[in-house]
Structure 1
Amino acid sequence: MSTSRIIQLAQKISAQAAVLDSHLQSNGLPQPSFNEDGPTEAFKEGTPDVQQAKSDVLEAMIELRQLIEGPMNNLLPPNNLSPLVAVYRFKLASLVPVGSTISFRDLAEKSGVREHDVKRIVRYTAVYHRVFHEPKKGFVAHTAASKLLAENPAASHLMGLTFDECWPAHNRAVDAIAQGSEEPNVSGYALANNTSLNTFQFFSENPTRAERFAAAMATTSTASLEALSTHFAWSELSPNSTVVDLGGSRGHVSIYLAQKFAHLRFVVQDLPEVVKGAADTLPEDVQGRIEFSAHDMFTNQPTQGADVYLLRYVLHDWPDKYCIDVLRKLIPSLKAGAKVVIQDHLLPEPGTMTLRQEMNMRNMDAIMLSLFNSREREVEEWEELFNTADSRFGGFTANRIGEHGSSGVISVEWTP
C-alpha cells in the first residue's frame, strides 16, 4: 500500500522541522514563540540546508492544509482583514504597555474606539494573526507580532502600504480589468481613490502618502543591488564610461555602483521634485562622479552618447505601450554599442519555482495590476518589448538571479 500524499507531507514537515530544531539548539538560539519576547525571525540566519528546511516545512504545511480543508475553502478563504486594519489605523499596538497589560476599557478610552469594538478586534487578531493575547479575561498583552508593530517603524510602514494603498486597490482591480484599458490611470488604485490620475501623479499631489510609500519601499533588501553589480559586466566598461540611471530617485543605486566601480560616472535622472537637493547628500567618496538631472522619461533622452542606460524596477510599473515609449525615447541619444540594462522581475513558467516563490511572484504581478494597471513579465515578453520598440535593439540577454530567482538583469545593445 503506497503512502498517501497527506502522510508524505506530514513526514516531510516532521523531518525538516527536526533540522530546524537541531539548528536552533546547536547554536543556542531561541525557539520560535508567540510570546512577547519571542524572536521576530527565528531562522533569519542559517546554512542553505536550514533555509531549505524552512521552505520545505512552510510549503508542505500550505499543501497539507489545502488538502485537508478541501476545495471549497480554496474558493472561500477567510479574508476579513478589517480587524487587522483597525489595529494599524487606531495604533492599538502602541497603546498596549510592553511587559504589562491594559484593560479593554482603558484601551478603548485611549484609542477612542468603543469598548466592544476593541474587544472583538483584539480577540479576532489574536486567533487569526497572533496579534495580542488575553492573559486574563478583559486584559490585553503583547505577543511578538504586536510588540513588533509597536516598536518597529518598518512594520507600520509596510502595514500602511498594504492596508491604505494596496488593499483598497485590490478591491477595485476587477472593475478596472472590465474596462479593458492599457492606461495607467484605469487601475484599481485610481478607482479606489476616485481619481483620474495615475498612481505616481496621485502621489505627487498627496505627499504624505508618497512618503509612506517610499518608506515602505526602503525596507527592501540590498541583496538585489549586489545582484545588479554581479550580473552585468560593469568592470568591463571603459574608464569614465557614463551610466544614466533613469528613474533613479535619490541615487541610491548609482551610489552603490559608483562605490564598487570607481572608473564609472553616473547621471541620475528623475522628476524635478525627486532629485531636488539630492546632490547635497552624496557620500564624499562618489562626489564628482554622480550628477543629478531632472528628466521625464516619457520625453526624449537629454544625455547623449552614454555607455549604459539603466532602468531598475521601473518598467514593471507601466503598461506595455508606455514601456515601449520609454525605450523609443532613448533612441535619438543612443550611440552604436550603447547598452540598455534593466533589472526587474522575471515571471517563471508555471511549476518551475518552489511553491512559495511562485506564490510571491504571482502576488507581485497582481499588485502591479491593482496599483498601476501594469504587470510583471516573462523573459519572452521582455524581449518582445524591445523588438516592438525597435529591431535595432539587439543581443538580448536575460540573466536570472539565482537558479530559481524571481528577478534578473536584462541587457540589449544598440546596433544601428
Structure 2
Amino acid sequence: MSEFDNTIDIIFGRWKSQILYAGAKIGIFDYLTEAPKDLHQIAQDLNLNETMAYRILRSIATLGYAKEEKDTHRFSSTSLGNLLKKDHPQTLQGVLLLEEGPEHYQIWKHLPRMIKDGQQNAFSSEYGVNIFEYAGANTEYSKVFNDAMSSYSAMHTAMVLEALNDYDFSGVSHICEIGGGQGHLSSHLHSKYVHLNGTILELGAVVKNQESSWPNKMGLQDRCKYIEGNMFDHVPPADLYMMKMILHDWSDNECIQILSNIHKSAPDKAKIFIVEHLVPDPSVPHFSKLFDIHMMCATTGRERTIDEYKSILSQSGWQLIHTHYPKSKMIGVIEAIKKG
C-alpha cells in the first residue's frame, strides 16, 4: 500500500468501524450463518428496511465481515464476521459496541482542546461524571461496558498466562486480584494452579451480581471468593496482588495512593503483578501509544513506560524486579516486591 493509500485508509477508518458498529447494533452478525440467507428474509427477521439493509450488508461484505453471493442478494457469515458474534469464544462484539458507541464516540471531539489546555478526561467534560460513575448510573451503558471488559479480559488472560507460563507459583498460596471484574484472570489462574486460593476485591455492585462471574461458571467459588471493598480505602492481605488494566485508568498520584494502600496491607516479601500495555522505546510502533490517547479522553490515566511504573512503585514502597511478556509483547506483566 502506498503512502497516499495508507493515509486515505486511516482518514476513512472511522467509516469502517462505524459500519461494523451498526451491523452489530442491529443484529446482523448474530443473525448470519455459513448458509447464505436471502436479503428479504434478513430484513424481515431483523425488522429492517430492505433497501437500507442491502446497502449496509454490501458495505460489511466489502470489509470482509460478510459474504455476498453474486446476483442473488444473499449473504452469509465469514470468519471475520464470526468474531463479532456475541457467543464467539473470542468475541469482540462488546469491544466494538463500547468503543464505537455514542458515549465513547463523543469524547474524542475534546482531543484538540485537551492537548492545548492540558486538562484530560474528556468523559467527565462531556457527561459531568467520570466513566465509572456514569456506568453505575446508566444500566444500558453499564451492560455494554461490562461486555466489553469481558472481551478484553479474555484476550488479556491468554496473554498473561503465556507471559507467566514458566513462573514458579509454588511459594504463593493466596492471590488477591484488585478490580478483577468478572474474575476471568483469577479463575483461569486458579484452574491452572490448583494449590492457589484467592480473593477478588471489587465494588459492591459487582460483588452482589456474581451469577455470571467466572468463579461461578468454573466451579471455583470455594477457592476464589469476592470481597467488597475499594482499593482507594483498604485491601485485604495476600501473598501476591494482581492488577490487570487498572492503573492505566488513574493519574500518577492516584496510582501512588492505590499502591500505598496495598503496601499497608501486604505482608513482608509480598509481591504485586501489574498487567498493562507498556510503552516501548520511541522507535517501536505499539498499540499502547494509541491506547494512551483513548485513556486521555476517557480517564485521568495514561499508558506508561517501564521506568514510569518503576517510579510510582518506588514512591509507594515497592521495588520492580522483573517484567514478563507474551510473545506478542502486546502487554507486559510487571513484577514488584514489597520493600522493607
Q: TM-score, normalised by structure 2?
A: 0.79
Query: CA separation in 1, counterparts of 2:224 and 2:65?
Result: 47
Structure 1 portions without partners, runs of 5+: 1-64, 353-357
- 1:292 to 2:226 alignment: yes
Deviation at 1:342, TM superposition (A): 1.4
Structure 2 CA distance for aligned equivalents of residues 146 and 229 of structure 1: 29
SS in 2 for 1:340: strand
1:368 is aligned to 2:295: yes
Tell me whether 1:350 sits opposite 2:287 in the alignment.
no
> Counterpart of 2:334?
410
In 2, distance between residues paired with 1:244 and 1:326? 14
C-alpha distance after superposition, 1:342-393 (max 9, x if no partner)? 12222221344xxxxx443333333333332422211111111113x33x42
Q: How does 1:214-253 map to 2 (within 5 A)?
A: 214-219=146-151, 220-221=154-155, 222-227=157-162, 229-230=164-165, 232-237=167-172, 241-253=173-185
Aligned counterparts, 1:247-396, within 5 A: 247-276=179-208, 278=210, 282=216, 286=220, 288-301=222-235, 303-304=236-237, 306-352=238-284, 358-387=285-314, 389-390=315-316, 392-394=317-319, 396=320
Q: Partners of 1:257 and 1:249 in 2: how far apart?
A: 15
SS of the residue corresponding to residue 301 of structure 2 reads coil
1:290-347: CA deviations, max 9, x gaps? 332111111133x24x322221221122222221111122233233322222122222
Shift of 1:211: 2.5
Query: For residues 175 and 125 of structure 1, do their structure 2 counterparts lie closer, same or farther at Cα, with a shift above 3 Å needed?
Result: farther
1:235 is paired with a residue whose SS is coil
Q: In 2, are the aligned partners of 1:225 and 1:256 still within 8 Å (CA)?
A: no
Contact 1:134–1:141 under 8 Å retained in 2: yes
The answer (yes or no) to whether the contact 1:348–1:406 under 8 Å persists in 2 is no
| Residues 94-109 of structure 1: pairs in structure 2 closer than 5 A | 98-103=35-40
Tell me if structure 2 keeps the 8 A contact 1:132–1:145. no
Q: How does 1:109-128 map to 2 (within 5 A)?
A: 117-128=52-63
Match of 2:15 in 1: 80
Cα 1:158–1:344 change in 2 (3 A) is closer
Partners of 1:365 and 1:376 within 8 A in 2: yes
Higher relative contact order (CA 8 A, sep 6+): 2
Q: Which digits, 9 at most, give the CA deviation of each residue in 1:237-285, with x for residues without a partner?
A: 3xxx432221122433333333343444322211011122649954787
Q: Does the CA-based 8 Å contact 1:231-1:409 persist in structure 2?
A: no
User: CA offset at residue 177 of structure 1?
Assistant: 4.1
Give the whole-Å Cα distance in 1 for the aligned partners of 2:77 and 2:220.
Answer: 44
Cα drift, residue 151 of structure 1? 5.5
Select which of 400, 405, 412 maps to 2:324.
400
Moved more, 94-103 or 358-367: 94-103
Partner of 2:26: 90
Letter in 2 for 1:393: W
- In structure 1, what is the Cα distance between the partners aligned to 2:161 and 2:143? 25
- What's the RMSD between the two structures over aligned residues? 3.6
SS at 2:332 equivalent: strand
Using a 3 Å threshold, how does the CA distance of structure 1 residues 297 and 112 change in structure 2: closer, same or farther?
Answer: same
Once residues 129 and 327 of structure 2 are traced to their aligned partners in structure 1, the CA distance between those partners, rounded to angstroms, is: 39
Give the conservation status (yes or no) of the 8 Å contact 1:88–1:156: yes
The residue type paired with residue 297 of structure 1 is M
Q: Which has the larger radius of gyration?
A: 1
Q: Secondary structure at the match of 1:234?
A: coil
Partner of residue 141, structure 1: 75
Cα distance between partner residues in 2 of 1:283 and 1:117: 40
Contact 1:248 1:268 in 2 (8 A): yes
C-alpha separation between the residues in 1 aligned to 2:19 and 2:182? 36
User: Please, which runs of 5 or more residues in structure 2 have no aligned partner?
Assistant: none
Displacement of 1:208 after TM fit?
Answer: 3.0
Identity level (%)? 21
Aligned partner letter, 1:127: T
Q: What is the deviation of 1:169?
A: 3.5
Contact 2:67 2:76 in 1 (8 A): yes
In structure 1, give the amino acid aligned to 2:321. Answer: T
Q: Which residue of 1 aligns with 2:131?
A: 199
CA distance in 2, matches of 1:209, 1:274: 15
Deviation at 1:93, TM superposition (A): 5.0
Amino acid paired to 2:330: S
